[in-house]
Structure 1
Amino acid sequence: MFGDLRRFDTGPSRGVDWFRQLMDEMFPESGAADIRSVPRGSYPMINIGRTDDAVRVYVFAAGLAAEALDVSIQDNVLTVRGERPQARSEIEGGEAAYFRRERGSGEFVRTVALPDGLDADRAEARCRNGVVEIHLPKREELKPRRIDIQAA
């Protein structure tokens, strides 16, 4: 009946292992890369912000030329595709022996849902210093309008 309850009389040698297992069960790994709660392996990183007139998307693709990226919007879904070449590091006489490689390479696809009411036909994109800024204006009928109050 109480088979899955934990015993609290573990010895000191098993205490750390028991505590680690208990914490892993209470807080399973979410797959987040860091405090930003982005799933592991998400590339490129993306920031999305909005104003009264537009939504701006910032795609952080350091080391890639604008021509290496394919950005498209369909049904309020932004898709960023591209390929990161494998980094090569040469040492005199041969290739470097890596002890750790954290930079991923290969093809990638990143999709993000965008809010409704954007005019994708008027979208503009600019790339500077490895950051692609995509400007998506809102449709005119959805922009906030100021209403003048008439004196009675």
Structure 2
Amino acid sequence: MFGDLRRFDTDWAPGTDWFRRFFDEMWPDPGAADIRSVPRGSFPMINVGRTDDAVRVYVFAPGLTPEALDISLQDNVLTVGGQRSETAAEDEASAQRSHFRRERQQGAFSRSLALPEGLDVERAEARFHNGVCEVVLPKREELKPRRIEIKAS
């Protein structure tokens, strides 16, 4: 029923979907809302989840190396930043042609997100594998759920 959050899909005129997509691509609405929680083009994309033991943050940074990322934590705010530049092959090819569409952004980037209270930031760890950086922030021991044994009377 809803193609996106901006308008209703209309099935009354078959064959006009390409026409709407054509205009959307030619003149995009820069402030358009979509189902993501961040604006289009935000980099890097981030997933946050929690378990009984920790909060896990997944930073999706394809094409970057661990050295290109800068992750910091201060006052329960996690900041991911860095620099993304063209590869030598892309840079050489870009100089020889004009682009009709360019969706990969270059330059400095930074994303910040607030984390819940009660994390043991001294034991935080980060691992990078295949363009995904996983940041594990363990919960303090006193905040972890405990099982209480029931004794028969």
TM range (shorter): 0.7 to 0.9
Q: Which amino acid aligns with 1:149?
A: I
| d(CA) in 1 for partners of 2:32, 2:67 | 30
| d(CA) in 2 for partners of 1:34, 1:99 | 24
- Gapped regions of structure 2 (runs ≥ 5): 1-28
Map 1:60-139 onto structure 2 (within 5 A). 60-86=60-86, 88-91=90-93, 95-139=96-140
Which runs of structure 1 show a deviation greater than 6 angstroms over 4 or more consecutive aligned residues?
A: none
| d(CA) in 1 for partners of 2:33, 2:72 | 26
| d(CA) in 1 for partners of 2:43, 2:92 | 26
| d(CA) in 2 for partners of 1:56, 1:33 | 26
Change (3 A) 1:123 1:42: same
| d(CA) in 2 for partners of 1:31, 1:117 | 35
| d(CA) in 2 for partners of 1:30, 1:114 | 28
Deviates more, 1:31-40 or 1:79-88: 31-40
- Gapped regions of structure 1 (runs ≥ 5): 1-28
Provide TM-score, normalisation by structure 2: 0.73
Larger radius of gyration between Structure 1 and Structure 2: 1
Once superposed, what is the RMSD of the aligned Cα atoms? 1.9
Name the count of aligned residue pairs: 122
Q: Which residue of 1 aligns with 2:34?
A: 34
Q: Which amino acid aligns with 1:41?
A: G
| d(CA) in 2 for partners of 1:56, 1:77 | 14
% identical aligned pairs: 68
| d(CA) in 2 for partners of 1:76, 1:32 | 30
Change (3 A) 1:115 1:32: farther
